[in-house]
Structure 1
């Protein structure tokens, strides 16, 4: 079964989509719902998903920022965005950020069916291509990971993605993700998050940069998302961390 995540701030829209998708009887399973992009990003970090259907207009983190954050994380997840008729310029932006299709509100069942059938077909073609690729890549040496680590070290954190890391060593992203976890015992996305938070700590301690500038430098387009991850890993918010380190420095002198 292909796993789907629904992201929309209106509960009735999520329920209507869930009912319509189940009615189609396709090999699809809706495994979770989120009310905004930030909540969805946090959930995706710890769960495997094949497709996201997300609204564009949402509070906290909108659909455009959400799609962009997925790319920054290097997570290869297909996205279908939902918009209204007078928001097509947002749809165009979503395509540029990596979305693969769109649906217009109010969503017609026939449009939903056509959209999901097209996605299922492309998904099957992609899986066949990956199967052929895996057979070629089975003998890739362990030095591949060393090359990836070197790529990460020399690339600004705001520009590091799983897709580009895979391109740097000429393998596909899915294979690299598996290889990374197998050899380093940590997911690529978690390793990248660890580096981003470490660099964030360094910038908080040694610079007077604004929080938004620090977040952008380490690869987060949303300050809220940077702060949320920072607190999860360090136990304190970025502002609390900066105040504490400043106080310790003053006491030291």
Structure 2
């Protein structure tokens, strides 16, 4: 069974419909979790930059940046993100454009449970296939050190919100922690643990800029359930606590 958990951002300007889509996604496949709901394209891009989701499910017709334009931006700036269009019957002329811009699939409103389940399953299978190809490409007897370092960075980017550490990464990629540390430090300039902490705290800083997120919630969103350790890590990177960052006051 695939242990990968997929982060989803839903983009829908009708709030009740958006909540219903969220509920349906999480019922259709427990591997998919909606981490944010955006009500227009601009808000969606802010969430996507901060949360780096695996999947974006978007309506076509929205104020400002519509679904077609949003998918085009994602294809250019976030090519690994899977894109799913939700459309009304009158939107079929747009569907071809959506597919051309890289949409993984499209669903008609109201969303059919079985179609949604199949779409999510398709995304899951594609991920498994890509993962298999990646590990085939980077077999231990054919690895380039820089490629290994890149694989570690990619794993961190996709899994930082989980309680992972160096041992987790090493086990997942099939190397010893000491070998990964030596190799990664040589090619990146910092250890994997330091890189993970820096990435988490960079994302945390972006999330803390939104006052609607409690500090404890931000800590959990970047894979650190212990608020004390989160505060300590944040201060190590930014020389101030999360509370001081929010208040705009640096400790004397």
Measured against the shorter chain, the TM-score band is 0.5 to 0.7
Instruction: Give the whole-Å Cα distance in 1 for the aligned partners of 2:89 and 2:62.
Output: 16
| Partner residue of 1:139 out of 125, 144, 149 | 144
Aligned to 1:109: 113
Any gaps of 5 or more consecutive residues in structure 1? Answer: 143-165, 191-253
What SS does structure 2 have at the residue aligned with 1:46? helix
State yes or no: 1:130 paired with 2:130.
no
Give the drift of 1:75.
4.0
State yes or no: 1:39 paired with 2:39.
no
What SS does structure 1 have at the residue aligned with 2:35? strand
Any gaps of 5 or more consecutive residues in structure 2? Answer: 159-183, 203-252
Aligned to 1:83: 87
CA contact (8 A) 2:29 2:120 kept: no
Gap change, CA 1:115 and 1:25, over 3 Å in 2: closer
Gap change, CA 1:182 and 1:52, over 3 Å in 2: farther
Deviations 1:152-196 (A, max 9, x none): xxxxxxxxxxxxxx9xxxx9x958x899x9469899xx9xxxxxx
What SS does structure 1 have at the residue aligned with 2:64? coil
Gap change, CA 1:64 and 1:183, over 3 Å in 2: farther
State yes or no: 1:24 paired with 2:24.
no
Deviations 1:103-134 (A, max 9, x none): 01121112211221222122211221122233
Aligned to 1:119: 123
Greater relative contact order structure (CA < 8 Å, 6+ sep): 1
Deviations 1:25-84 (A, max 9, x none): 521111111111111112211222111111111111101111111123244200000111
TM-score for the superposition, normalised by structure 2: 0.54
Give the drift of 1:140.
5.0
TM-score for the superposition, normalised by structure 1: 0.54
